[in-house]
A and B are shown apart, each in its own frame.
Chain A
Amino acid sequence: MISFLSRRLLLMIPTLWVIGTLTFFMMRLAPGGPFMSEKDIPAATKTQLLHQYGLDKPLAQQYGMFLWNAAHFDFGPSYKYPQQQVREIILEGFKVSAELGGWALLLSLLLGVPIGVIAAVNQNRAPDHAAMALALAGVSIPNFVLGPVLVLVFSLTLYWLPPALWRGPETRILPVLALAVSYVAYIARLTRAGMLEVLRQDYIRTARAKGLSERVVVLKHALKLGILPVVSYLGPAAARIIMGSIVIEQIFAIPGLGRYLVIGATNKDYTLVLGVVLFYASFLMALNLLVDIAYTWLDPRVELR
């Protein structure tokens, strides 16, 4: 376990280094610098600006400085909003995004797993067909279509919920729902498949033969293994929820990290984009590690190597 952990943590460093290096050189190779788009800047001001950002130093030195600072979670000031440090923007945005994503993930699990279990227990009967048809529809509707449609129905027609912003609890409902639906659907499908696989196994027959109630067999014995596909999906799910939240934050004007990524991308605000990408990359890798650990805890047959 210890050796597994340390190996995985050690592997994260070169991976992050690769991403960092790639992005650094991409940034340098990219046509146009951060100050090219401004109107005519006097030459002196430009030299001053370049000096301030350390862009007048030799490339190797810049690269070294970038790596050293990035390792300290310091990406310098934003190119477009020089009064703000990228680090502050990230921390501020992440608080909002984490809440949005966290609620969405929680909702997907709380709805998706029971739906999948019910479908599996009623295999090939009406509840199963209904649940799976709905799930397929849920998987197919993109969140950036669902978001506007929800706003149209619940805000602009029924006037029940606010259409945007991130203030009180009632502003959370629509964005979380728009983000969660496809994961509810996907998790329901995964749970159903996993449960069907497990329910056929011998140990389940043994449990039934012992005279345990169906409820105990399904919820206590089968669910623990049947949910494994869902657990291994949590890593990718987190990645997708992050991607999804980029879109959802855009639709609902939520000041999250995804919003800053989009703003940075359209403004060619290189330091901001870089910081957000590196931050998300390390966050996801840490999350994947946690998922692997949870996996062994649930399935003793798996050994961490």
Chain B
Amino acid sequence: MSIGIAPPATVLPATHANPPRSLWSDAWKRLRRNRMAVASGAFLVLISLFALTAPWLPFLQDPTLQDLARGATPPSPAHWFGTDELGRDTFARVAHGGRISMLVGLVGTFVSLVIGVTWGAVAGYVGGKVDEFMMRVVDVLYSLPYIFLVILLLVFFSKSLLMLFVALGLVQWLTMARIVRGQVLSLRTQTFVEAARALGAGTPAILFRHIVPNTLGPVIVFTTLTVPAVILQEAFLSFLGLGVQPPAASWGTLVSDGAKVLALFPWLVIFPGFAMSLTLLAFNFLGDGLRDALDPQGRRDGN
């Protein structure tokens, strides 16, 4: 006598005729409904394009062009954001500063992305002693006030832009590694991985062709939230005089310089500060929207 489980008598009828939708189209639909997130995304695309193409925009003045006779003038039709003590056009300075801030934000995030994803994926997939060791390293680094090491690094060595990229990337990869590892741990036992292995795929291929693409959702969300964090870190370091060095300027150095003459020329703080805050706000809105869209289970707060 055999005890079997009878197949269900009737196959559940298709409840709707719609073709099955992928996670991505679903997420896209949810994201589109979030008006703030869409507006933020559009704003970010515009301001990034504007900042990144700043050197070639004909209506922008040369941000290094000094005119001491003009001195610091408040906003006017000729200089929308006014000029600084050296007579440089603040609008152009903010645009070019945004270029540096954005570049630092994107490159720093990219560095953290590469290190974090690789570290987390390898730890999660290989498992065992290797995993334990790699995650212990992350734990120890977590407990270090890492930004102080960055400060030391920048104090003792060159304050070049390259060093800044490296230092900022190094600060941010830890959380990414943890997120990716968690994802990989739950993915590696699934059948599609087994299938890939059965077909003879090697470990690197399985890891980076099959597993890592499936961790993309949380990684995208965290990346979106890392960019403003890196921009903020850079501004912090620039504020201390350790970040971007003159004559180059980022939003951080602009605010820092402006704060010194706040009582006399307040527009030198207000415009770069406003540009920076708005950009960070947009990144945060978009990040929140993406999280809600890509991780419907994570969003258990109704709706």
Contact = CB atoms under 8 A, between A and B. Distances in A.
Contact of A19 (B147, B149, B274, B283): B149
A196 B273 CA distance: 34
Given A136-B281, A250-B240, A262-B240, A145 B273 contact: yes
A35 interface: no
Contact of B277 (A22, A140, A156): A140
Given A246-B240, A247-B239, A273-B152, A145 B143 contact: no
Contacts of B38: none
A107 interface: no
Nearest to B263: A156
A279 to B, nearest CB: 10
B288 interface: yes
A196 to B, nearest CB: 5
A213 interface: no
B145 interface: yes
B236 A144 contact: yes
A110 interface: no
B196 to A, nearest CB: 36
B236 A280 contact: no
Interface stretch (A25-33, A40-48, A86-94, A165-173): A25-33
Given A144-B236, A147-B259, A151-B262, A281 B148 contact: yes
A268 interface: yes
B14 to A, nearest CB: 32
Contacts of A281: 144-145, 148
A55 interface: no
Given A23-B152, A30-B157, A144 B239 contact: yes
A23 B152 CA distance: 7
A267 to B, nearest CB: 10
Contacts of A136: 281, 284-285, 288
Interface stretch (B83-91, B110-118, B160-168, B295-303): B295-303
Interface residues of B, number: 46
Contact of A140 (B145, B269, B284, B301): B284
A30 B269 contact: no
B108 interface: no
Interface string B110-150: 00000000000000000000000000000010011101110
A197 interface: yes
A261 interface: yes
A250 B239 contact: yes
A265 B301 contact: no
B257 to A, nearest CB: 11
Most buried by A among B152, B256, B258: B152
A284 B145 contact: yes
Given A30-B157, A140-B280, A265 B151 contact: yes
A27 to B, nearest CB: 6
A305 to B, nearest CB: 13
B56 interface: no
Contact of A123 (B242, B255, B269, B301): B301
A52 interface: no
A265 B236 CA distance: 14
Contact of B281 (A18, A137, A277): A137
A242 B87 CA distance: 36
Contacts of B252: 144
Nearest to A200: B300
Given A239-B145, A265-B242, A140 B155 contact: no
B151 A266 contact: no
27 contacts: A15-B140, A19-B149, A22-B152, A23-B152, A139-B284, A140-B283, A140-B284, A141-B277, A142-B236, A144-B235, A148-B255, A148-B273, A152-B262, A152-B269, A156-B262, A243-B147, A247-B236, A247-B240, A250-B240, A265-B242, A270-B156, A277-B145, A277-B148, A277-B152, A280-B145, A281-B148, A284-B145
Interface of B: 140, 143-145, 147-149, 151-157, 228, 232, 235-236, 239-242, 252, 255-256, 258-259, 262-263, 266, 269-270, 273-274, 276-277, 280-281, 283-285, 288, 300-303
Interface of A: 15, 18-19, 22-23, 26-27, 29-31, 123-124, 136-137, 139-142, 144-145, 147-149, 151-152, 156, 163, 193, 196-197, 200, 239, 242-243, 246-247, 250-251, 261-262, 264-266, 268, 270, 273-274, 277, 280-281, 284-285, 288
